[in-house]
Amino acid sequence: MAEAQHEEETKVAEETNGIVEDDETKTQRAVRQIEFYFADSNLPFDKFMWTLHTANAEHWVPVQTVASFKRMREFQPLGRDWLVAALRTSEELEVDEAGENIRRRTEVQPPKGQFERSVYAKGFGKEEPGLQKKLEEFFNKYGKTNAVRMRRIDGTKEFKGSVFAEFADFKSVDVFLNADPKPTWEGEELLIMSKEAYCDMKIKEKGLTGKAADLRRQSMAGTGRKGFNAFAEMAEKEKKGKGREDKPKPEVFLEFLGSKILVHDEDGGSVKPEDVPNVQGASLRFEGVGEDVSFDEIKVQHAQGALRAAPVREVHKGRDGGLVGFDKVLSEDDIEYVRQNLKTLSGKEVTWRVPDEEEERAFQLERATSAAKRALSPWRTGWPWRRPWRRTWRREARRGGDRNAEKAAAAADGEADEQAGAKRKRAVEPDGGPNMGIRGQGVPVIQSTKKTKTDADADS
């Protein structure tokens, strides 16, 4: 009865919007959306998806985790069985026998020809709810697309009214650019061109030539996305690994939720899923605000007492919510305290709940993997961090020897005060040589490398 009522309500809503969608079309849209998450054009550039993809050697990802993404919410009322049945029709993805996990059928490959298969279009006005979906439907009329990316202003994230659309083949690019009549949006003709033509136009506008023009073209010829790049990370790992194969590396262990986990060198730092303790109740999910929330804001709230439970160890932000990880299991009182004392984040109302088992497990694996990468980074970057630093410090302190005896010997030739002062200074202020600390400077913070900011996305 409830199912029939839901189907009737859905049908009425669709007819109200002037859209009547049959089950086959809805199935294709759901499959297509998840295929995009795993596609070469997205997976290696989406840090969270890549973490899920590399969490185990077989690259299985929980169906329930992917089904929880914002773009999949409209399909959630249909149930997991419906989604699993839909995914079994995919030629690009495979579902395990139990219907609980999903993965690609092929290995991830660096996308080729993205730049040449991409177009630029401007004239889409201001952003409104559901615009991303409308844009995808608009471009798919001309051919299959791999991605449609709305361009935004750095800092404010305001939509520029223009997009880069990547088609799956060159034929679709020609169909779009040579369409007659020309593509329009809400009755207005769009400004369209290939991404390559757009790149050349911007280089000419800025008067760039020679090496400067080449660098600008290279930056714009990428995916159009800043930040994480799995291929770049793997290349960097390979580069750093050359010449170090014969050097023994110390074993590194990670303290995680009360367990000691061995950190492996693969992928710049990784852990085996079976080594990660499955501790339920050490995470909380917030909903109502997503990418605007920063880790620092959560830490400040904790320092002010709104998260009295335990130190915050990790924050994962989603599209309209996120997960906060703690270093111990929370009690019912802890959870209720958070709900009552932290009702807003970034000026928006939020709700808190305990994540389900699969979601928390995926988050724990992500936390452990991130911690593993941080744990290995000092050794991989060559920093004399922590142990060598402290060991040198103690050696410098011991070098002082018996101060009374030295002072007596120095007094014989009139240099007692100077030498004693020099000894104290060396013990407190190392001389800056190899493996030496510097007074007033903390342990070096190893930060992730970010892509150099360009003007490409700042241009309209």
Give residue-wise pLDDT tens across range 30-46.
Answer: 998 999 999 988 899 89
418-452, pLDDT tens digit by residue?
A: 554 554 444 443 433 443 333 333 333 333 444 44
**Comparing 15-19, 220-224, 317-321, which segment has the lowest mean pLDDT?**
15-19
* Sign of the Cα pseudo-torsion (80, 86, 88, 92, in order): negative
pLDDT at 287 over 60: yes
pLDDT for residue 138: 95
For 211-227, the DSSP string reads HHHHHHHHHHTS-S--S
Q: Nearest CA to 266 among 252, 280, 277, 246?
A: 252
pLDDT band at 236; cut points 50, 70, 90: confident
Calpha distance 66→45 (Å, rounded): 16
| pLDDT of residue 272 exceeding 50 | yes
Going by C-alpha positions, the residue among 177, 181, 120, 187 that lies closest to residue 150 is: 120
Lowest mean pLDDT among 45-59, 62-76, 216-230, 276-290: 216-230
Cα(387)–Cα(213) distance, rounded to whole angstroms? 46
Confidence of residue 295 (pLDDT cuts 50, 70, 90): low
Backbone φ and ψ of 53, nearest 5°: -65, -35
Buried b (16+ CB within 10 A) or exposed e, 163-182: bbbbbeeeebbeebbeeeee
Instruction: State how far the Cα of 438 lies from the Cα of 423, in Å rounded to an integer.
Output: 16
Alpha helices in 320-356 (DSSP H): 332-341
164 and 150 Cβ atoms separated by less than 8 Å: no
Q: Which residues contact 20 (CB under 8 A, 6 or more apart)?
A: 11, 14
What one-letter code names the amino acid at 220?
M
Instruction: Look at residue 460 in the predicted model and tell me its pLDDT.
Output: 57
Residue 220, token pair as written in the block:
């714009």
* Average pLDDT estimate for 185-212: 92
Gyration radius of the chain over CA positions: 28
* DSSP string of 135-164, one letter each residue: HHHHHHTTS-EEEEEEEE-TTT--EEEEEE
CB 222 within 8 A of CB 216: no
Say how far apart CA 429 and CA 357 lie, in whole Å. 51
The strands making up 312-317's β-sheet, listed across from edge to edge, are 312-317, 321-326, 283-287, 351-353
Per-residue pLDDT at 99:
95
Using pLDDT thresholds of 50, 70 and 90, give the confidence band for residue 15: very low
Confidence of residue 8 (pLDDT cuts 50, 70, 90): very low
Say if residue 247's pLDDT is above 80: no
- State the amino acid at position 209 in one-letter form: T
Residue pair 34/87 in contact (Cβ under 8 Å)? The answer is: yes
The per-residue pLDDT for 452 is 47
The secondary structure element, H or E, covering residue 324 is strand 321-326
C-alpha torsion angle, residues 287, 271, 40, 323 (rounded to 10): 0
pLDDT for residue 14 is more than 90 = no
Q: For the segment 332-389, what is each residue's pLDDT rounded down to a tens digit?
A: 888 888 888 888 887 888 888 898 888 888 888 888 888 888 888 754 444 444 443 3
Instruction: Output the average pLDDT for the chain.
Output: 76
Average pLDDT of 169-175? 93
**Which residue would you say has higher pLDDT here, 127 or 453?**
127
**Distance between CA atoms of 327 and 279, rounded to whole angstroms?**
10
Q: How far apart are the first and last CA of the chain?
A: 52
Q: In the structure, what pLDDT confidence band is assigned to residue 62 with cuts at 50, 70 and 90?
A: very high
In 3-state terms, what secondary structure has residue 269?
A: coil
Q: What is the pLDDT of residue 233?
A: 87
- The whole-number pLDDT of residue 427 equals 41
Rounded-to-integer distance, Cα 438 and Cα 203, Å: 45
pLDDT at 180: 94
Least confident stretch, 263-267, 282-286, 287-291, 447-451? 447-451
- 80's tokens: 């997991």
- Residue 312 structure tokens: 């915050």
Tens of pLDDT, residues 85-127: 999 999 999 999 999 999 999 999 887 888 899 999 999 999 9
Q: What would the two tokens of residue 291 be? A: 């990418």
Q: What percent of the chain has pLDDT over 70?
A: 68
Q: Does residue 274 contact residue 261 with C-beta atoms inside 8 Å?
A: no
The token pair at 111 is 């996308």
Q: CA 430 from chain center: how many Å?
A: 39
Q: Who wins on pLDDT, 135 or 430?
A: 135
The confidence score (pLDDT) of residue 282 equals 87
Residue 189 near residue 123 (C-beta atoms within 8 A): yes
Quickly list H helices, 1-96: 2-16, 23-38, 47-53, 63-67, 80-87
pLDDT band at residue 416, thresholds of 50, 70 and 90? very low
